[in-house]
Amino acid sequence: MVLVVSEEVRAAIDARQPVVALESTIIAHGLPRPRNLQVALELEEAVRREGAVPATVAVLDGRPRVGLDKEQLERVANQDGIRKLGHRDLPLSVAAGVSGATTVSATAQLAALAGIRVFATGGLGGVHREWTVTQDESADLGLLARTRITVVCAGVKSILDVPATLQRLETLGVAVAGYGTDRFPGFYLSDSGHPVDWRLDTPEQVAAVMRAQDALDTPASTLIVANPVPEAEQLDPELHARVLADALRACGEQGVIGQAVTPFLLDYLVRYTDGASLSANLAAVRGNVRLAARIATAWTRG
């Protein structure tokens, strides 16, 4: 098979030990260098500290990989012009023999193919605010609607149209639960301003939902566990609103489109909040990774 699963990850899956998939677009395109490599290593370490095995996903020289060693992580973090791969790009990158970082959609697809059930990221993609003009909706949503995996995230990125994204998730039949909250988290913010219908409070409760998905034999779809960044570590909501408005304006003025939109907005926020958005983003991802490891542990114990 074209998919390469690292020995450590393969052994853990086979032995039903907890494994957490991690995406690589956040490393290559979502965080500034050189911080991105430190973060990639730190997130893997955080998974290990919780007793689970990290499986970072990327495509290297046309080979989709689940589980990267340090040198491979370095390539993802430092290679100039490394591509951003959604799930539709996977066959194209394989045939072309190129390297790329995987988004949520591509990571979820490859992780599920490898037999991994739990995945952690920062914020999901979704419906962009100018959707009526641009039709820009992240491919994350469509893929999550047909993949059996649990994604731990801090909601969807706040640069998006959050209520429209929540509506799309409902339409697509993707299950969403707040973790320890009745509010849908807002990525950089603990609360997006929108409620969620379901709340889960422990890793065991999450694992019980996963087992119920299997028992009901429902059409494959994702369980989104929306885990808020702690309020003390969130971005100041006023600063967030102000800089985001500027970022969206700059994005339109500069004619940024397609795959470039999300990295452009994230980078703008990092620069014009003096790194405060980066701290909030990292706090969110760290919390998600730790929770994902605990969910994977509860899941394998069941």
- Does 185 bind ligand PSU (CB under 6 A)? Our answer is no
- Does 265 bind ligand PSU (CB under 6 A)? Our answer is no
Residue closer to ligand PSU, measured from CB, 122 or 287: 122
Q: Which of 36, 104, 116, 103 is nearest to 73 (CA)?
A: 36
Tally of CB atoms within 10 A around 26:
24
Q: Which of 301, 211, 289 is nearest to 21 (CA)?
A: 289
- Does 93 bind ligand PSU (CB under 6 A)? Our answer is no
Amino acid at position 62, single letter: G
Tally of CB atoms within 10 A around 132:
9
Our measurement of the distance from residue 9's CA atom to the centroid of its chain's CA atoms, rounded to an integer in Å, reads: 19
Distance in Å, CB of 186 to ligand PSU, minimum: 12
Our measurement of the distance from residue 36's CA atom to the centroid of its chain's CA atoms, rounded to an integer in Å, reads: 15
- Does 29 bind ligand PSU (CB under 6 A)? Our answer is yes
- What residues contact residue 104 under an 8 Å CB cut-off, 6+ apart? 23, 25, 119, 121, 124, 125, 138, 140, 143, 144, 151, 153
What count of residues does the chain have? 302
**Pairing mode, strands 175-179 and 223-226:** parallel
Question: Which residue from 13, 20, 22, 30 is in contact with ligand PSU, where contact means CB under 6 A?
Answer: 30
Q: Which residue is nearest to ligand PSU (CB)?
A: 122
- Does 140 bind ligand PSU (CB under 6 A)? Our answer is yes
| Calpha distance 153→187 (Å, rounded) | 8
- Does 104 bind ligand PSU (CB under 6 A)? Our answer is yes
Residue closer to Mn ion, measured from CB, 44 or 136: 136
Q: Which residue is nearest to Mn ion (CB)?
A: 136
Residue closer to ligand PSU, measured from CB, 30 or 67: 30
Question: Which residue from 56, 103, 181, 288 is in contact with ligand PSU, where contact means CB under 6 A?
Answer: 103
Applying CB under 6 A, what is the total number of residues that bind ligand PSU?
A: 19
Question: Which residue from 99, 121, 150, 213 is in contact with ligand PSU, where contact means CB under 6 A?
Answer: 121
Applying CB under 5 A, what is the total number of residues that bind Mn ion?
A: 1
For Cα atoms 161, 166, 169, give the angle at the middle one, nearest 5 degrees: 125
Distance in Å, CB of 192 to Mn ion, minimum: 19
Burial class of residue 237, CB neighbours in 10 A (0-12, 13-18, 19+): middle
- Does 161 bind ligand PSU (CB under 6 A)? Our answer is no
- 130 and 159 in contact (C-beta within 8 Å)? no
Question: Which residue from 23, 50, 136, 161 is in contact with Mn ion, where contact means CB under 5 A?
Answer: 136
- Does 222 bind ligand PSU (CB under 6 A)? Our answer is no
Contact residues: Mn ion, CB under 5 A: 136
Residues making contact with ligand PSU (CB under 6 A) = 23, 25-26, 29-30, 103-104, 121-123, 125, 138-140, 259, 262, 266, 281, 285
